[in-house]
Amino acid sequence: MTAASDTPALPTTRPAGCPYDPPENYATLREEAPTSQVRCPAGMDAWLVTRYSDVRAVLADRTMSSRGASSVHVNAGAERDLDIEVAPGSIIQLDGKDHSRLRKMVLAEFTVRRVEAMRTYVQGLVESHLDAMLAKPGEADLVRDFALPIPSLVICELLGVPYADRERFQHQSSTLVSTDTTREQGQQAYEELSGFLAALFVDKQKNPQDDLFSRLIARGRETGDALTMEELVMLGLSLLVAGHETTANMIALSTLVLLDHPQQREVVLAAPERAVEELLRYLSVVQFGVLRYATEDVQVGARAVKAGEWLVAALNSANRDEELFPAADKLDFHRESPRTHVAFGFGAHQCIGQQLARVELQEALTRLFRRVPDLRLAVPRESLAYKHNTLVYGVRELPVAWS
């Protein structure tokens, strides 16, 4: 698309005083211009898709390439990065057979049965972190002491990454998901994390353990379809970053929502599965949507999109579409069909770790409010800082107190 001087900017600003709501003009766009042209911070134009039905259609369409799915559209000055060839092993960005091959290899590790087998381990982590938090003198930062370490430990256990290295990969992950990261900073974080993972996988080739990547390496030798070191590193980077960033932010932000809606806590304790689905819909922490590239001419709603044009599927707008979710801006744990949300995406690239994220959220929230029923904010509500400049939305710190 050719840029026009009057092309509106991609909506990124949340309404003042409403930290859980997406940009307020999404509602108008859904009604009046559900697929509209916007100028992205990266410097290119794209079609912003805001209606639920259209977002699902775009994400399900195999002619829509995910090559820009790292959400590069919100990184200022990154337009030239859109032409870079997708790296082998990038499960988020690869399409077609290359993507299917990787996804099939990894999917066996994230089945409902295997994830349920990890529930007892997750429960133990939650309880031990609650023990440690409650041993403090009546106050803690829920992000640092609870929300961040639990998914970090879970993904480390699953992938076979030493938890002792958490500060390194957490810092590098934060750099990679920030929209303010410069090209140089992003490259440095990528190289450092890639080098760390490469050394780890060399060791696993010699000394396999009971973890996902040791099994992938062994399975590749048995089948003759071994992943190259470059593929292992890129796959590891994708799973490690995505595996703790989204869940950690969801735990903290969900806790804050429940502090704001104390009357809803009993519903969470009684029906955690339903409550978690509504929280996923309501918060939609992948806040800037996902990028797609049309490889063929296609119709999106009433809009004709040409091959070679970019689209942004606004997940947070789709999840507030009143066509499917009546009173969508209201948190409602009794909502019908809560799992129809697109917080985990949709189609071939739907989040592969969604079942694990659900278990972590269910266990973290129910056990937190069961053991600490009088949990409350320890600072004025207006003093909290939010992650407006990261791909995954959340709260930076969450000081809490209890009696």
Domains along the sequence of the chain with CATH: 25-401 (1.10.630.10)
Residue 2 pLDDT > 50: no
For 24, the token pair is 């307020």
Predicted local distance difference test score (pLDDT) of residue 338: 64
Residue 16 pLDDT > 60: yes
Predicted local distance difference test score (pLDDT) of residue 361: 98
Instruction: Please give the backbone phi and psi of residue 378, each rounded to the nearest 5 degrees, phi first.
Output: -100, 0
Predicted local distance difference test score (pLDDT) of residue 75: 87
| Beta carbons of 309 and 46 less than 8 angstroms apart | yes
Q: pLDDT (tens digit, 9 = 90+) per residue, 334-354?
A: 987 667 999 999 999 999 999
Predicted local distance difference test score (pLDDT) of residue 69: 82
- Pairwise CA distance, residues 366 & 144, whole Å: 19
- Pairwise CA distance, residues 20 & 7, whole Å: 27
What is the average pLDDT across 83-87?
Answer: 88
Residue 88 pLDDT > 90: yes
Residue 3 pLDDT > 70: no
Q: pLDDT (tens digit, 9 = 90+) per residue, 288-342?
A: 999 999 999 999 999 999 999 999 999 999 999 999 999 999 999 998 766 799 9
Could you tell me which residues are beta bridge partners of residue 400? 140, 377
Residue 249 pLDDT > 60: yes
**With bands split at pLDDT 50, 70 and 90, how would you rate the model's confidence at 186?**
confident
List the one residue out of 150, 161, 145, 142 whose CA is nearest residue 124. 150
| Per-position DSSP letters for 3-70, written without gaps between them | --TTPPBPP-PPPTT-TTSPPTHHHHHHHH-SEEEEE-TTS-EEEEE-SHHHHHHHHH-TTEE-TTTT
| Beta carbons of 393 and 285 less than 8 angstroms apart | yes
| Beta carbons of 376 and 259 less than 8 angstroms apart | yes
Predicted local distance difference test score (pLDDT) of residue 336: 77
User: C-alpha 378: how far from its chain's center?
Assistant: 27
Predicted local distance difference test score (pLDDT) of residue 60: 97
Q: pLDDT (tens digit, 9 = 90+) per residue, 122-171?
A: 999 999 999 999 999 989 999 999 999 999 999 999 999 988 888 888 88
Residue 5 pLDDT > 60: no
List the one residue out of 381, 398, 364 whose CA is nearest residue 276. 364
Question: Mean pLDDT for the chain?
Answer: 93
Q: pLDDT (tens digit, 9 = 90+) per residue, 219-245?
A: 999 999 999 999 999 999 999 888 889
| Beta carbons of 213 and 204 less than 8 angstroms apart | yes
Predicted local distance difference test score (pLDDT) of residue 22: 97
What is the average pLDDT across 65-71?
Answer: 88
CA atoms within 13 A on the CB side of 401: 7
List the one residue out of 243, 245, 238, 150 whose CA is nearest residue 193. 238
- Pairwise CA distance, residues 177 & 50, whole Å: 23
**With bands split at pLDDT 50, 70 and 90, how would you rate the model's confidence at 212?**
very high
Residue 35 pLDDT > 80: yes
List the one residue out of 38, 54, 57 whose CA is nearest residue 46. 38
